[in-house]
Amino acid sequence: MKSPVTRAALWSLPVLALLLGWAWTNPQGNFWGTVEPPKAQGEAFDATKLATVQRPTVDLYAAEKLNRLIREPQNTVSNLAYATVGLALCLAGRRRETYSLGAASAFLAVGSGLYHASLVPEWRLIDILGVYAVLYCLVVMAAKANWPRLAAGALGWALDVGAWVLAVTTGIFRNDVRIAGFKVFDSTYVVVAAVALSWLLVLGVARRQASPKKYRRAVVGAAFFSAGSFAGGLGDRFGGFWLAPDAFVQGHAVWHVLGAFAVLAVYEALAGSGLYRSTCEH
């Protein structure tokens, strides 16, 4: 019997073929309407304009890229990685926390995929909510792996539901909550803080590992994927070292794919504590 992650990958192949077909043909037409100002990636930019502009505006976009069904093909298709990881987690799940993280990953894949296809702010909000949901679910899972009593009874339910409630509220009001002028729920701060906290909790669960070798392998994988993901995400911004609008490999697409792999690797490190079922099990 194939492992959950293998089954998820196989079931994702037809979807990948369909997405690649759409990206290859990419019908022309004004499907999405007004585009929002450039944010954190440059696949839809006009490469010839990059050397002449001082700051990113809507004028930096290439008109022919905006006038198509999928405005950012690589950044759109690459979100299938999160959908595959989410499916693998749901297939492997035996606890509510695993299903919650799987649902969050699938939610992120849909929101981010539609945002990069459209470049309209409504879908960017869903993208951000998905990122927050994945990160908060990981923090809750890691906390429970360190202190299993947190998973019991009403408290366990409250933490799982609270992760989603917090993700939605802080995502929607990320620009409205300020302390001394500091936006505490800004997406950059949330990502850095949640990743740092997750790493502390993942390292803390080392004492509970049934197989230290598997745990070390998962941690090394998570570190590699996390570093590569951040490099792609940061490098693809305006003025970044990876900004190449017409390149086959987009930095932001790397952010998606390696970020999904990092989530799976972190989950595997937590699964070694015995609270969750590994996606590598048959």
Cβ pair 245, 41 in contact under 8 A: no
In a domain, 280, yes or no: no
Tell me which residue of 256, 254, 264, 213 sits closest to 92, measured CA to CA.
Answer: 264
Whole-angstrom distance, CA of residue 15 vs CA of residue 11: 8
In 3D space, the residue among 12, 44, 58, 15 whose CA is nearest the CA of residue 118 turns out to be 44
Q: Is residue 282 in a domain?
A: no
Confirm whether 279 is domain-assigned.
Answer: no
Ranges of residues in the chain whose predicted pLDDT is under 50? none
**What is the model's pLDDT at position 177?**
86
Q: What is the mean pLDDT of the chain?
A: 95
Residues of the domain holding 165: 4-271
- List, for residues 1-10, the tens digit of each pLDDT value: 789 999 999 9
Q: What is the pLDDT of residue 121?
A: 94
The answer as to whether 276 is a domain residue is no
In this predicted structure, what is the pLDDT of residue 282? 62
In a domain, 11, yes or no: yes
- The answer to whether residue 266 sits within a structural domain is yes
Q: What is the pLDDT of residue 51?
A: 87
- Is 281 domain-assigned? no
What pLDDT, on a 0 to 100 scale, did the predictor assign at position 182?
85
Terminal-to-terminal C-alpha distance of the chain: 6
Number of folded domains in the chain? 1
Tokens for 11, please give them. Answer: 């079931």
Q: How many Å is the Cα radius of gyration of the chain? A: 19
* 43 vs 144: CA distance, rounded Å: 39
Instruction: Specify the pLDDT at position 270.
Output: 97
| CATH (domain of 222) | 1.20.1070
Structure confidence at residue 180 (pLDDT): 82
Q: Per residue in 36-67, pLDDT tens?
A: 999 999 999 999 999 889 899 999 999 999 99
Q: What is the per-residue pLDDT for 245?
A: 97
**Whole-number pLDDT of residue 130:** 98
Kindly state whether residue 93 falls inside one of the protein's structural domains.
yes
Give the phi and the psi of residue 167 in degrees, each rounded to 5: -60, -45
β-sheet bridge partners, residue 33: none
d(CA 43, CA 176): 29
